[in-house]
Structure 1
Amino acid sequence: MTRQNLAAQVEDESAGARPKQTRALPVTLVVAVIAVVLDQGSKALAAAQLAPGDRIPLLGDLFGLSLVYNPGAAFSLGSGATWIFTLVGALAAGSVVTFAARLRGARWSLALGLVLGGAAGNLADRLWNPPAFARGNVTDFLAYGDLVIGNIADVFVVLGVVLICLNLLRSGPHQATNNEQTGDAS
């Protein structure tokens, strides 16, 4: 190690410099792949084991299993415009990949990976499930009372969004300004 390198290292350590964090994209993609596998596997299991419309209570009336094929969004809204949800899902997945390529840090990797995995899981249903390519119904089976029936992909999206909010709250305005100046987006 040369004197200049050693001096720079000591200077960095005395200034409290953080070690360089890795890009979020590789970890984001790994988390997303795991999420898609879990989502698609759970949907295949639900379709194989549950009869459409029947409800199996797990926690009384609060939570159960009930297989439905949803052509719309949450609460079956927009069931006549399934292709729009396919387009929105593809754009959301692309946006998450773009953000992950620019960010650094494990917290962002996990949050973005969960959102990407959930979006991709439901997008796969839209692309490949009946009635037609890019207009398929999403397989839902997690019944939350009488409110909504969702799936594992929905759970991953919600968890990812909560983590994104926590990440944003954790980095205050001062840190955001410093990150913009240094190019670090942990």
Structure 2
Amino acid sequence: MGKPLDEAGLDTIFRTARTYNGYTDQPVTEAEIRRIYDLLKMGPTSANQQPGRFVWCLSQEAKDTLADCAGGNNPDKIRAAPAAVVIGMDEDFHEELPWLFPHADAKSWFDGDPEGRKEHAFRNSSLQGAYFIIAARAVGLDTGPMSGFDHDKVNAAFFGDNPKVKANFISTLGHGDPSTIFDRSPRPDFDKFNTVR
């Protein structure tokens, strides 16, 4: 049974955590991204599908390649960040289900259903992308998720050798610089968007 996080933990993950537009010059290490992945992979996905495919851009060359696929102010954010991440989704995730979900013949549920696989890949990789944000915050890093990019360019640059993997969204990663954030946007009260029945 889980134990509630203390107030500081809740602040770190949700209440005082922010989306950052810029970072300090402290690097992000491979050990840190492995730690993030080892946390995010524990989050639930349907039938343990694990469709998320992550490309961690630590080198300047990789960040420049990703920046060239982005629009608006995003290229500058990506180039200047200590790291960036492409959160992709494998539309053939079902090929891995025999070992990921050995309790049933889950692969057969998706054979011959490419549209169903796309829907599941998008939903569950989006969950994994959210787990990435939470895991990064939990280990003391900050993120700047974004969707302002050319999907076809990102797919070609980062998943060209596997056309069944597509980009879902991208994010910068590092130790956030507080001077780069805006005032927090409004958050709705419970009664605004919730119904109890």
**TM-score normalised per structure 1:** 0.23
Higher relative contact order (CA 8 A, sep 6+): 2
- Bigger share in helix: 1
